[in-house]
Amino acid sequence: NRIGDAVQITTGRRLTEEGLPDNAGSTVVMLDGKCAFNTLDDKDLVIHWGAYLGTPDEILISGRLGDVGDEIAKTREEARRKKGWIMDTYLLRKPGEPEE
């Protein structure tokens, strides 16, 4: 997060049901087995996605949601199939906000 900005932490299910809050600066999504980011209308959001964070198998993908959303979903499924499990999380930010 950024100094003075709020951080919203939510689940994939809630993201699907409620979308992003209007005042969301940084939203961290956990427990998302269905790639809820692909249900969002705003494909210009910036996503920073990671799986197996802090391990030798760490995978990182980031960019404009409309550009990398399908790649993340495919990579996620392949990684889950290969290892038998996946633990991932992602950060969403509105476009135009500094990426500090």
pLDDT computed for residue 33 by the predictor:
93
pTM here is: 0.90
The end-to-end CA distance of the chain, in Å, is 9
Q: Amino acid identity, residue 29?
A: V
Q: Domain of 59: which CATH number? A: 3.30.950.10
How confident is the model over 27-77, as pLDDT tens digits?
999 999 999 999 999 999 999 999 999 999 999 999 999 999 999 999 999
Could you give the number of structural domains in the chain? 1
What DSSP character marks residue 14?
A: H
Backbone φ and ψ for 90, nearest 5 degrees, come out as -150, 160
Which of helix, strand or coil describes residue 62?
strand
Domain of 75, in residue numbers: 7-93
pLDDT at 2: 64
pLDDT per residue as tens digits for the range 84-99: 999 999 999 988 755 5
What pLDDT was estimated at residue 5?
A: 77
Q: What local confidence, expressed as pLDDT, does residue 22 receive?
A: 79
Token duo for residue 39: 């249900």
- Confirm whether 36 is domain-assigned: yes
